[in-house]
Structure 1
Amino acid sequence: MTTMTEASVREFKMPDVGEGLTEAEILKWYVQPGDTVTDGQVVCEVETAKAAVELPIPYDGVVRALHFPEGTTVDVGMSIIAVDVSGGAGDAPAAAPVAEVPAQAAVQTPAQAPAAPAPQPEAPQTAAPQAAAPQAEAAKPVGSGRQPVLVGYGVAASSTKRRPRKGPEIAVSQVPETIQAELNGHGAAPAVRERPLAKPPVRKLAKDLGVDLATVVPTGPDGIITREDVHAAVAQAAPATQAAPAAEPVPQVAQAPVTTPAAVPVPSYDTARETRVPVKGVRKATAAAMVGSAFTAPHVTEFVTIDVTRTLKLVEELKRDKDMQGLRVNPLLLIARALLVAVKRNPEINASWDEAAQEIVVKHYVNLGIAAATPRGLLVPNIKDAHAKTLPQLAESLGELVSTAREGRTSPAAMQGGTVTITNVGVFGVDTGTPILNPGESAILAIGAIKLQPWVHKGKVKPRQVTTLALSFDHRLVDGELGSKVLADVAAILEQPKKLITWG
């Protein structure tokens, strides 16, 4: 037995996967003590205040210890896993030589495999678990390298050598049928289960819906499970569970819920009287930011109700325009363009307050934030240099931003450096609100629900499409005149969209 020296053990510390993040929660471990790992292999999934990411290990070696269990919030810089990089087996049980593993014949191609498996002796029970990893590795198709990860140290082209988790069944989906027959036909072969390929948001969706990814048929490239695959698995299982009454879903309201809808069970008033939900991740970061903003920047909110009938007509025309084909064209697109034009006409609104230097920093660029309600909570990614984009480019950026946020793939960098923000509370049927500024920004525009209402138009009362806009701003650097000008400009453009040409 080889003695493990302290010098041969490398401690992998929790990295800062964003800019200035201080902690992350360990959602899931993909390895256990005694597993063999390679440089670039994903060892765990963590959730920060901004995103869920997978962490790859930067060493080759054998896992000696996991310092924290799943569900633990760990400070950045603390060691989370110890890896013996000496190349020896250390204190772990020695693996049996490959030549002695009875199921080694399974690595043959279908053409090489014998017609009937020859009788084989039963493998020693202590050697089987260690031998399973190289056997599973050899059974993988050539060129099936691991998929790229979100953060880390690069991607290793070789397959992983993680010891398979114990399980009563054999589920090697990529092994030819003749090989599976050999694996299933001999009691000596240990159970092998390949970890399904899926991105972190898809794994979380499956967890929330109670779907075992091992039972899902992948349709994505390289055998990756998509969100549609998970929903299809749910729909397929639905007939068997139709007899059970379904719980009503928790309504989703932007900025209001204490946690994500998937994380909070529907309360049963016949049993527990209270449910306590830990404040962490996105909710914890949002709460801290909103409290800091509300009690640091003196907020002022102004409102205006306007007729946006012409804007909605322009939206329908743009949908038929060949230059906008395939792009997401909706009222938000023109409202975003209207705000950008108003900022151009009133550049002082696009600024921030530097408390340390006692200076107002006027930005000559606009990183336009869009508040998005996601399964992980409220996120505010921003479109970099939105002021320089054409209308088709802005539409493309908005579509990508919203889709990425809803799928939970928003990167920490996408939520850094915003200058002004739009929040659309109208999608929930809300008329208006008093939005709180994002820290470091001077203004945020809220869009209310667009409704058909009686309106005086050309001297007569007619049904028109009407909405209410609300602009909150930091009164330290934006006075009432400047804030009113910006809101009035946005309103004028949405009432008369031709001003996008004359003012833009």
Structure 2
Amino acid sequence: MTTAEFRLPDLGEGLTSAELVSWHVNVGERVSIDQVIADVETAKAQVELPSPYTGVVAELLAEPGATVPVGAPIIRIESTDPVGADASAPPVLVGYGPQTAHASRRRRKASPESAQHKQMARAMTASARAPQATVFVTSDVTASMELLETLSKSADFENCSVTPLTLAAKSLVTAIASHPGVNATWDETAERSVVHPHVNLGIAVASDSGLVVPNIKDADSLTLREIALRITELTSTARAGRTDVAHLTGGTITITNVGVFGVDGGVALLNPGEAAILALGSVNERPWVRGGQITIRQVVTLSLTFDHRALDGQQASQFLTLVASMLTDPAVLLAHL
């Protein structure tokens, strides 16, 4: 049996520390892999930390109410089954590396809102380092709205919320199969785009603690119903401030529904480390020329902001056009499934 240290991981969006709210375990207690051992709170949300080890708790290294820097050890476990590391010298799981960090008691001189404007500023500063461009398309989505109405009455979608965001998310992850370059990260060191093999779709959620972006793992492998369920689960958990670490990290591309705020569309900023973000505007009835006649249709504006190092305008435009075509005619979406 060896002693393993669990260090506070990077909880997403460049956060450098978190407050330890409470422990779920005590010294001498046996824990298993993925068992929740503590709650921590960032400027964004309260998060449950799972154990990466099986073993017995040897020492708790931070007290509730203490601020712990990312990379600092928070618990020692007499480990019987270390995962992915030498338990005698485990690395930082995710984050900024070991820090000279004894956890320090937080002195709350700034309001929670102030800690939140600061974190948002850090994330946006990190995002702004990427040269960004945005393309727009306005589309007739009447057929999609009719489909959603039908699905909402279907037994297969009972107790499942299906919305324009649901269909847009499914269209986005489906379109990536034809345009994998949008699901990428720009590698600063190698100066090249790294395409991800799976789609972890970030869903931008406005919560009382600010904007959080939990992500749906392997969204490209999910059905429309499964995506609807995941979106519902993630948004409710995020608004309650209970998103877990796994869903706050590892996102590869993001969708944001600015239409819920009653706006026609907007220019979204990239989630740091991602090559693209799709913004969905509000769906409204508008005059529309169809078959040479002016008629009233359900119309939406989509925008795609992209890292111009990873994508050029043609690639971004072709991708956005495909997503829009799937929303204009759901048969196009079905043809790509």
Residue aligning to 1:446:
279
Structure-2 separation of matches of 1:432 and 1:318: 25
Residue aligning to 2:120:
286
Q: Per the alignment, do residues 283 and 411 of structure 1 end up closer, same or farther by CA in structure 2, a change over 3 Å counting?
A: farther
**Contact preservation (8 Å) 2:151, 2:162:** yes
Residue aligning to 2:186:
353
Residue aligning to 1:470:
303
Residue aligning to 2:107:
none
- State the Cα distance separating 1:471 from its structure 2 match: 0.5
Structure-2 separation of matches of 1:298 and 1:331: 29
SS at structure 1 position matched to 2:165: helix
Out of 11, 16, 35, the residue aligned to residue 8 of structure 2 is 16
SS at structure 1 position matched to 2:277: strand
- State the Cα distance separating 1:26 from its structure 2 match: 5.3
- State the Cα distance separating 1:17 from its structure 2 match: 5.0
1:417 aligns with 2:281: no
The amino acid that maps onto 1:345 is: S
* Higher mean C-alpha displacement, 476-485 vs 13-22: 13-22
- State the Cα distance separating 1:75 from its structure 2 match: 3.0
Out of 324, 331, 338, the residue aligned to residue 157 of structure 2 is 324
**Contact preservation (8 Å) 1:445, 1:471:** yes
SS at structure 2 position matched to 1:344: coil
Q: Per the alignment, do residues 152 and 324 of structure 1 end up closer, same or farther by CA in structure 2, a change over 3 Å counting?
A: farther
Residue aligning to 1:96:
none
**Contact preservation (8 Å) 2:28, 2:57:** yes
Q: Map Cα deviations across residues 150-171 of structure 1 (whole Å, 9 max, x no partner).
A: x9979xxxxxxxxxxxxxxxxx
* Higher mean C-alpha displacement, 17-26 vs 436-445: 17-26
The amino acid that maps onto 2:278 is: L
1:399 aligns with 2:232: yes
Structure-2 separation of matches of 1:14 and 1:365: 27
**Contact preservation (8 Å) 1:18, 1:413:** no
- State the Cα distance separating 1:435 from its structure 2 match: 0.6
The amino acid that maps onto 1:410 is: T
Q: Map Cα deviations across residues 39-87 of structure 1 (whole Å, 9 max, x no partner).
A: 46999964125542579994699xxxx99895x644357799xxxxxxx
**Contact preservation (8 Å) 1:16, 1:22:** no
- State the Cα distance separating 1:380 from its structure 2 match: 0.4
TM-score, scaled relative to structure 2? 0.74
Out of 314, 337, 343, the residue aligned to residue 170 of structure 2 is 337
SS at structure 1 position matched to 2:238: helix
Higher relative contact order (CA 8 A, sep 6+): 2
Structure-2 separation of matches of 1:79 and 1:388: 36
- Write out aligned runs for 1:167-186 (5 A): none
Structure 2 unaligned runs (5+)? 31-35, 79-109
SS at structure 1 position matched to 2:176: helix
**Contact preservation (8 Å) 1:319, 1:329:** yes
Residue aligning to 1:163:
none
1:431 aligns with 2:264: yes
Residue aligning to 1:52:
46
Q: Per the alignment, do residues 461 and 28 of structure 1 end up closer, same or farther by CA in structure 2, a change over 3 Å counting?
A: same
Residue aligning to 2:143:
310
Structure-1 separation of matches of 2:320 and 2:17: 39
The amino acid that maps onto 1:24 is: A
Give the structure with the higher percent strand: 2
Provide the alpha-carbon RMSD of the alignment.
3.5
Q: Map Cα deviations across residues 223-282 of structure 1 (whole Å, 9 max, x no partner).
A: xxxxxxxxxxxxxxxxxxxxxxxxxxxxxxxxxxxxxxxxxxxxxxxxxxxxx7466665
- State the Cα distance separating 1:427 from its structure 2 match: 0.3
Structure-2 separation of matches of 1:321 and 1:495: 21
- Write out aligned runs for 1:45-444 (5 A): 46-49=40-43, 51-53=45-47, 58=57, 70=65, 73-76=67-70, 277=111, 283-294=117-128, 296-444=129-277
Q: Map Cα deviations across residues 349-400 of structure 1 (whole Å, 9 max, x no partner).
A: 2111111122221122111111001122111011111111122222222221
Q: Per the alignment, do residues 466 and 440 of structure 1 end up closer, same or farther by CA in structure 2, a change over 3 Å counting?
A: same
Indicate the percent of aligned positions where both proteins have the same amino acid.
47
- State the Cα distance separating 1:302 from its structure 2 match: 0.8
Q: Per the alignment, do residues 480 and 53 of structure 1 end up closer, same or farther by CA in structure 2, a change over 3 Å counting?
A: closer
- State the Cα distance separating 1:430 from its structure 2 match: 1.2
Q: Per the alignment, do residues 40 and 452 of structure 1 end up closer, same or farther by CA in structure 2, a change over 3 Å counting?
A: farther
Residue aligning to 1:457:
290
TM-score, scaled relative to structure 1? 0.51
**Contact preservation (8 Å) 1:14, 1:74:** no
Which structure has the greater CA radius of gyration? 1
Q: Per the alignment, do residues 152 and 370 of structure 1 end up closer, same or farther by CA in structure 2, a change over 3 Å counting?
A: farther
Q: Per the alignment, do residues 392 and 340 of structure 1 end up closer, same or farther by CA in structure 2, a change over 3 Å counting?
A: same
Structure-2 separation of matches of 1:67 and 1:443: 38
Q: Per the alignment, do residues 315 and 297 of structure 1 end up closer, same or farther by CA in structure 2, a change over 3 Å counting?
A: same
Structure 1 unaligned runs (5+)? 1-12, 31-36, 81-150, 155-275
